[in-house]
Structure 1
Amino acid sequence: MQRDHEDIYVDWRGRACNPNKHGGMGAAAFVLGLQAFEMMAIAAVGNNLITYVFSEMHFPLSKSANVVTNFVGTVFFLSLLGGFLSDSYLGSFRTMLIFGFIELAGFTVLTIQAHYPGLRPSPCEMGRKLDEEDECIEAKGYEALMFYSALYLVALGSGCLKPNIISHGADQFRKEDPKQFKKLSTFFNCAYFAFCTGELIALTLLVWVQTHSGMDLGFGVSTAAMLLALISLLSGTSFYRNNPPRGSIFTPIAQVLVAAYRKRNLQTCASNSEMVLNGTQNGIVKLIHTDKFRFLDKACIRSEEERLGSIREESPWKLCTVKQVEQVKIILSVIPIFACTIIFNTILAQLQTFSVQQGASMNTWLTNSFQIPPASLQAIPYIILIFLVPLYETVFVPLARRLTSIDSGISPLQRVGTGLFVATFSMVSAALVEQKRRNSSSSLSILWIAPQFVIFGVSELFTAVGLIEFFYKQSVEGMQSFLTAMTYCSYSFGFYLSSLLVSLVNKISGGWLSHNDLNKDRLDLFYWLLAGLSFVNFFNYLFWANRFSQQQPLPLHLLQTQTSKQPSNSKLVVP
């Protein structure tokens, strides 16, 4: 049954919530703790995983990069599963609890394998000359089985956890209370700050531990961080407002598609008078009919038999409401925008894989006594974000607002496009530095690759945050978690595309990335390829963003109407 936001939220025992006890920023703080600690745990593993896979599991460099990108891609792809289970059966709190312990189990197995030498291949130095004896043996059999099992337990747990963290935190604020509603935006800012803080600690302190004290201790710290995340989640149990499962969004989508196909021979009506309208309550219409994808309108048009009343009970698989149809239209409308951000996340994949190995082949000593771990350079975008986000809100937005008269300074689509354009220069910088490294007679300082991380940090401020803002503003009630999961899927497809590109480039080029030595590989040409793809993708984005902007805008806010103003001959069915 469809629920509105006025529904009764319940506590952990299933009883109605007490506004004086449950919810608010105090309850949300426990969720923020979960966000920070879980991000700390997963980021420390994912961002330095290529080093472990290459050095300890003895996978070839290109295969190691694919292991990492497939892992990260799976994490984000499984967010759809987490959102589905939460909305349909479990609720966000139970979903986070169950899959949080699954993620903890994966970290534990990774730690055990990294600690005991008998569970890994015999130690050797990867990248040695071919004429040396005892070539490194790649992990196979039970070693590979244990590694992949642990890795994908982490992926399953983290993937199903992610889409529910923000939604459960947002549920702690009563939307009907103006004071509570204002605090909702504060929570989103705090959640993003917690995300960046967790990433920053992981990429500095935890990566340093992995590099200087061993991967077993590093994985152990990640396990401890995940345990603290679950403790933070459980500590707020008696204070949470829990939104009961409201049914999957996939069923209404399927009903619209099936009903539209069954009535494919009907003509679309010129007005709304023959459509079944849903979502009017107390004089408020939450969705109105739009002219996009008009073939779907047939799903909510009454057939001749239905109008004459010969069908006693209307099947939801034959007759849908305008609200259902418009929800499907929203999803179809945002897909091209979503697709244009995949290349952006493919660039991110390089910063977590090949750029780490690029840094490892350079001089990592900043002083005679301080050596920087290559994976820690990935902290640069998050350092940039921690400083730029407040400046963006306090400086850029007010200045842009004066020029554009837009409350947010620039529209979400403009923000995403700016980031996509800037991201291209991250790969240009990476290609130029790699060319210089290959041609240099001495070892370059690792700081030479810092600009590619800085540039990407700036682009992420625009694209990553703008994409979330765009999806949130396009969503309607009951769709926020699903569209949030689509945001994560952009990361997933970007990392999967990276794996595909590596394999295709190796096959077509004859082995640009097939060696285990960057001095023999042509990583610079691969970076130039990504820069070109990113530049072309930017113009593709401009086309779809312009087309989206020219279409009739969706009514994302509640539209006040009077039901009494409907024409007397209207055949609208208002539940």
Structure 2
Amino acid sequence: MDVESSTAHEVSVDWRGRPCEPGRHGGMRAAVFVLGIQAFEIMAIAAVGNNLITYVFGEMHFPLSEAANVVTNFVGTIFLLSLLGGFLSDSYLGCFWTMLTFGFVELSGFILLSVQAHLPQLKPPPCNMASMDGSCEQARGFKSSIFFVALYLVALGSGCLKPNMIAHGGDQFSSSGGSDNAKSLSTYFNSAYFSFCLGELVALTALVWVQTHSGMDVGFGISAAAMAAGLISLAGSFRHGNKFRFLDKACVRDAEQGGNTKPESPWRLCTVSEVQQAKTLLAVTPIFACTIVFNTVLAQLQTFSVQQGSAMDTVLGGAFRVPPASLQAIPYAMLLLLVPAYELLLVPFMKRLTGTRSGITPLQRIGVGLGTVAFSMVAAATVERRRRDLSASGARMSVLWIVPQFLVFGVSEMFTAVGLIEFFYKQACAGMQSFLTALTYCSYAFGFYLSSVLVTTVNRVTARHGGAGWLGDNDLNKDRLDLFYWMLAALSVLNFFCYLVCARWYNSGADGSDAASAQIAAEGDAKEIS
């Protein structure tokens, strides 16, 4: 049996099908439109996700632990669905049409959420969940169904958008650009994270303030408006984009059997590109797995840490009351300064030390983030223990004491999130960029799902002797959130050492991925952790 293979290559054309001109098409000029939809989309989804526990607990009247699981399952589903978005883009629709289609799906979810939050007949009667008298009616039946349909329309749209925003922007930089292209890609990924931080900052300050003072219905409506603005920005990338790609896949010669010619079964013979894609996917899986615990820590900052802030003194200066969800904006405000400083100061400095064009390699960048995230949970556990002790005497701790846990995580995320996206994108074979980028978000999904599993498991194990469990009460003064945080800190340390083993294995060449190894070697990154 003879097998012929042709090297996969791409032909770049503009929106009218004409060959691209490097000076006129692609590059940062086109990518800036993608950065626009990324900023607006994260602004819309962050305003919902980061304050969702307040709405689910306070207005839909779910118990606190169930409300936390609703949030983590929602966010986890968003990131898990990124695999669907990557698959549809790489196999059928392309980045642009996938983003446009599911952008409207996400927009419809925001609109339905706003309607549900506005109409009293779609919510249970108002009551104070903190009263602990059991009189609050939990949303069930039709009311609950409307809420979850709207919520998961948002999840479907956002999940399918996320990997394609990164991949579509990265595709604007020609793969034939050599060293300049490698540096441009690194700059683009840092710019994408800056755009992400900007969207998060606006969401966690202005939009959360609107939700707190004008109602969640208005807040959800503003999220819908932000999503619409993102779709308008996406339309701008259609004219300037340079990557409507046509890939020549590896060819397989027909097998001759008994004088009859028929195609070989795809179950018996794979193309060269399919084999290479499988090898690449297997090679990066251990690195992917080591980022799951990191995102479990993120889940706590979006759920229990918000409720932790609600149990503290949120008044500053005698008059201004800080919405607890807005505390998550602090690291993003800091990162708006740190990301440019990283690009302009640290990268040139590290480039002189390491000889690597991006300063440090993606695997090293991931390692720095995974190595520091445990300190976020250490800070959270220490503060929570002190808060509980003070509450027993009737005193309230200032909400500013939980700022360090957000700051430490923000710095960790700057290294881990950007490093992971850059790592996956650079390892991708032709036709896999969106799918491998989706693995980044899939890590978030598993992290949030793991959080739900841990919350449920910890409650069951710690309630065996007749108690309510560490997280089994609606009152944090009776729960043991501090012990849960310490457990996550220990898991983070263990996970970091597992990552060091996996990264060293990857660098040893045990993956056997010729394309990935060749690409790393070409960029001077063959040994990423010494």
The answer to whether the 8 A contact 1:69-1:495 is kept is yes
Q: Report how far residue 25 of structure 1 moved.
A: 3.5
Alpha-carbon separation, structure 1, partners of 2:452 and 2:419: 26
Deviation at 1:529, TM superposition (A): 1.0
Q: Does 1:509 align with 2:462?
A: yes
Matches within 5 A, 1:457-472: 457-472=410-425
Specify the alignment match of 1:283 in structure 2: none
CA deviation string 1:36-92 (max 9, x = no partner): 111100010000000000000000000000000000000011011111111222121
1:105-504 equivalences under 5 Å are 105-130=108-133, 135-176=135-176, 181=181, 183-244=184-245, 314-440=264-390, 441=393, 442-504=395-457
Q: Contact between 2:12 and 2:243, CA under 8 Å: does it hold in 1?
A: no
From 72, 76, 96, the counterpart of 2:75: 72
**Aligned match for 1:81, one of 55, 79, 84:** 84
Give the secondary structure class of the aligned counterpart of 2:129: coil
- 1:319 and 1:391, CA in 2 relative to 1: closer, same or farther beyond 3 A? same
Shift of the 171–469 alpha-carbon distance from structure 1 to 2, 3 Å rule, reads closer
List runs of 5+ in structure 2 lacking aligned partners.
464-468, 523-530
Whether contact under 8 Å (2:13, 2:20) holds in the other structure is no
Moved over 6 A (4+): 309-312
AA in 1 matched with 2:303: T
1:542 corresponds in structure 2 to 500
State the AA in 2 paired with 1:16: R
- 1:148–1:546 Cα change, 3 Å: same
Q: Given that residues 425 and 531 in structure 1 are in contact (C-alpha distance below 8 angstroms), is that contact kept between their aligned partners in structure 2?
A: yes
Aligned counterparts of 2:298 and 2:45: Cα–Cα separation in 1: 16
Does the CA-based 8 Å contact 1:417-1:542 persist in structure 2?
yes
Larger RCO: 1 or 2 (CA < 8 Å, sep 6+): 2
Q: Distance in 1 between matches of 2:240 and 2:426?
A: 29
Per the normalisation by structure 1, the TM-score is: 0.81
Distance 2:384 2:245 in 1: 53
Shift of residue 327, structure 1, vs aligned partner: 2.6
> Where do 5+ consecutive residues of structure 1 fail to align?
253-277, 280-299, 561-575
Aligned equivalents of 2:95, 2:262: Cα separation in 1 = 38
- Comparing 474-483 with 33-42, which one deviates more in the overlay? 474-483
Moved more, 222-231 or 66-75: 222-231
Cα 1:559–1:124 change in 2 (3 A) is: closer
Q: Deviation per CA, 1:380-439, whole angstroms, max 9, x where unpaired?
A: 222232222222233333443444443333332222122112100110110010000000
Deviation at 1:535, TM superposition (A): 1.2
**In structure 2, what is the Cα distance between the partners aligned to 1:170 and 1:92?**
11
Could you tell me whether the CA contact under 8 Å between 2:10 and 2:246 is conserved in 1?
no
Deviation at 1:316, TM superposition (A): 4.2
1:49 to 37, 52, 56: 52
Closer, same or farther: CA 211–33 of 1 in aligned 2, 3 Å: same
Q: How many residues matched?
A: 503
Structure 2 counterpart of 1:16? 18
Structure 1 residue 93, shift from structure 2 partner: 1.4
Where 1:409 maps in the other structure, the secondary structure is coil
* Residue type of the alignment partner of 1:43: A
Shift of 1:115: 1.0
Deviations along 1:451-490, one digit per CA (max 9) or x if unpaired, are 0011111111221122122222322332222210111100
Is contact 2:10-2:247 (8 Å) kept?
no
8 Å Cα contact 1:171/1:243 also seen in 2? no
Q: Determine the C-alpha separation between the residues in 2 that align with 1:3 and 1:29.
A: 31
Q: SS state of the match for residue 363, structure 1?
A: coil
Q: Which moved more, 1:138-147 or 1:537-546?
A: 537-546
Q: Give 1 or 2 for the bigger CA radius of gyration.
A: 1
Deviates more, 1:421-430 or 1:313-322: 313-322
User: Partner letter of residue 444 of structure 1?
Assistant: M
Contact 1:417 1:541 in 2 (8 A): yes
Aligned CA distance change for structure 1 residues 430 and 369 (closer, same or farther; 3 Å): same
How far 1:558 sits from its partner (Å)?
A: 9.6
Change (3 A) 1:418 1:239: closer
SS in structure 2 of the partner of residue 318 of structure 1: coil
Q: For the residues of structure 1 that align with 2:242 and 2:423, how far apart are their CA atoms?
A: 26
Report the residue type matching 1:203 in the other structure. L
- Quick one: percent identity of the two aligned structures? 61
| 1:505-561 Cα shifts (integer Å, max 9, x gaps) | 11111121111110111111111111111111111112222222222584333999x
Secondary structure of the structure 1 residue equivalent to 2:479: coil
Structure 2 counterpart of 1:533: 491
- Superposed displacement of residue 176, structure 1: 4.0
Give 1:555's match in structure 2, choosing from 507, 510, 517. Answer: 517
Structure-2-length-normalised TM-score: 0.88
Distance 2:47 2:518 in 1: 38
Given residue 461 of structure 1, which amino acid in structure 2 is its aligned partner?
A: M
Q: 1:236 to 1:470 in 2, by over 3 A?
A: closer
Task: State which drifts further: 434-443 or 328-337.
Answer: 328-337
Indicate if the aligned counterparts of 1:199 and 1:382 stay in contact, CA closer than 8 A.
yes
User: Once superposed, what is the RMSD of the aligned Cα atoms?
Assistant: 2.9
Contact 2:11/2:245, CA 8 A, preserved across alignment: no
Structure 2 residue identity aligned to 1:506: N
Q: CA deviation at 1:18?
A: 5.3
Q: Structure 1, residues 198-255: CA drift from partner, whole Å, max 9, x if none? A: 11100111011111111111111111111111122224433433525759xxxx9xxx
Distance 1:201 1:452 in 2: 20
